A = this chain, B = another copy of it.
Amino acid sequence: MFGFTCKKSDRKENSGCSFGLTKKQQAIADREVELIMLAKGLVQEQGFGNLTMDKLTAASPYSKGTIYNHFSSKEDVILALCIHSLKSESILFARSGQFEGNTREKVIAMHVAYRIYARMEPVLSTCAIMAKSPWVLEKASPERVAELNQLEEVVIAGADDLTNAAAECGDLKFSSGIGSDAIVFANWSIAFGSNALSQNASNSHCIQRLQDPFTVLHNANMLLDGLGWKPLSSEWDYRKTWRRVEQELFSEEVAYLESIGR
């Protein structure tokens, strides 16, 4: 909550602190991270039903009042988890932008990043789904909702740049009604949708597909082929691209996932 707002009285002129935070402010920021990690642990151990303000208080060395200085409500904690999650995910997205390849391969690299993060942090990815439900959005603090939107804007802007670059170099042509907004939104929708639906333990064949590591790739390729984003999947082996992204950008993450059998 107010832990991050930089009041004049608190700001040290010419202080050596990074980001212009006083020691006190830094301590509060650190404590917030500590609380978020504790909340994450509670969910990981026993599910979302185990995430309780009482239990979070008990697991921490602080009092109820202090918890409520950080989070305006229980739902605010979930949104904080979501923001924490998106920050980590952004690092993977940033890395995927550095992939050496054509523009379409770079889009695929973003999908790889999204998928790998979902596998690495299932609990936090799940928060991203809950954060799009009114149950969370109604009760979370407006400040945090704004913070999440802002973070999402940064990721969107990156994807936007990529589609514009593709349009400039001729890999992609915009058509009436289909600008970079529409393309980014479509990609986000299908990535979000696949991820959310796969959380459901349904036994339907059509969802068991998600076991297939290339389902997300197939879905993305359908979209990108439909947009005529070159090279088309008939002219290029994007499975090879997918594997190359995993090896060249996320080898550590993939090794970790394999070591825990996910």
Contacts and interface: CB of A to CB of B under 8 A. Distances in A.
Contact of A129 (B133, B190, B194, B221): B133
Contact of A47 (B49, B138, B205): B138
A197 B156 contact: no
Nearest to A184: B206
Interface residues of A, number: 59
Interface in A122-156: 126, 129-135, 137-139, 145, 149, 152-153, 156
A92 B44 CA distance: 39
Contacts of A126: 133-134
A210 B186 CA distance: 11
Interface string A77-101: 0000000000000000000000000
A181 interface: yes
A194 B138 CA distance: 20
A197 B132 contact: yes
A182 B223 CA distance: 13
Contacts of A210: 185
B206 A156 contact: yes
Contacts of A212: 177
Interface stretch (A56-64, A224-232, A241-249, A252-260): A224-232
29 contacts: A47-B138, A48-B133, A48-B134, A48-B138, A49-B138, A49-B139, A126-B134, A129-B132, A131-B200, A132-B196, A132-B197, A133-B199, A137-B201, A145-B201, A149-B202, A149-B204, A153-B204, A156-B206, A182-B219, A185-B215, A186-B190, A188-B206, A189-B193, A190-B193, A190-B223, A223-B223, A223-B226, A225-B225, A225-B227
Contact of A135 (B48, B200, B201): B48
Contact of A222 (B200, B201, B205, B227): B227
A12 interface: no
A55 interface: no
